[in-house]
């Protein structure tokens, strides 16, 4: 009878090991699938992707009301500066390397204004040249 219990305990241990191996394999497969999906879903930086996103964001912003906060890049004024943050965030993800830093800076400046509207004047002064630069690059590379 003792042999049966040892054999039974050994079989249970083998079942547990198999279960752990299968569970580990499933977890690894899920992680790999998530990484693959993330890699495929990440937008690629290119002029075409930037221009497509710019056109979409320009159309979206044009529908918004207001005239409190201007953007030279979008040639628009809206009341909710946070919408510019959203637009520049989307552009930053696809902006070619040559302008990605400037787009990120504009996003940061609009975020500062959104967080503290009293910083609007100083942000406008420090971002004026960058805004002009991104606007010129966009006009040169994207058909508006």
Residues 32 and 66 grouped into a single domain:
no
pTM (predicted TM-score): 0.71
Residues 7 and 77 grouped into a single domain:
no
What would the pLDDT profile of 63-100 be if each residue is shown by its tens digit?
Answer: 998 888 888 899 888 999 999 999 999 999 999 999 99
What would the pLDDT profile of 40-73 be if each residue is shown by its tens digit?
Answer: 766 789 999 999 999 999 999 999 988 888 888 9
Own/partner pairs for 50-56, CB < 8 Å, 24+ apart?
A: 50/91, 50/94, 50/95, 50/96, 50/99, 50/138, 50/141, 50/142, 51/138, 51/141, 51/142, 51/143, 52/94, 53/90, 53/91, 53/93, 53/94, 54/91, 54/138, 54/142, 55/142, 55/144, 56/90
Residues 97 and 32 grouped into a single domain:
no
Number of domains the chain is built from: 2
Residues 132 and 75 grouped into a single domain:
yes
Domain that holds residue 22: 1-42
């Amino acid at each position: 009878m003792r042999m049966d219990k040892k054999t039974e305990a050994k079989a249970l241990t083998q079942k547990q090991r198999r279960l752990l191996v299968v569970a580990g394999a499933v977890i690894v497969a899920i992680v790999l699938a998530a990484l693959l999906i993330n890699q495929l879903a990440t937008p690629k930086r290119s002029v075409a992707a930037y221009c497509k996103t710019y056109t979409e964001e320009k159309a979206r912003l044009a529908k918004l009301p207001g005239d409190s906060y201007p953007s030279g890049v979008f040639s628009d004024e809206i009341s909710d500066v946070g919408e510019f943050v959203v637009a520049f965030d989307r552009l930053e993800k696809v902006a070619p390397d040559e302008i990605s830093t400037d787009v990120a800076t504009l996003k940061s400046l609009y975020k500062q204004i959104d967080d503290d509207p009293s910083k609007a004047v100083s942000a406008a002064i420090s971002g004026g040249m960058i805004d002009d630069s991104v606007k010129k690059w966009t006009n040169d590379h994207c058909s508006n």
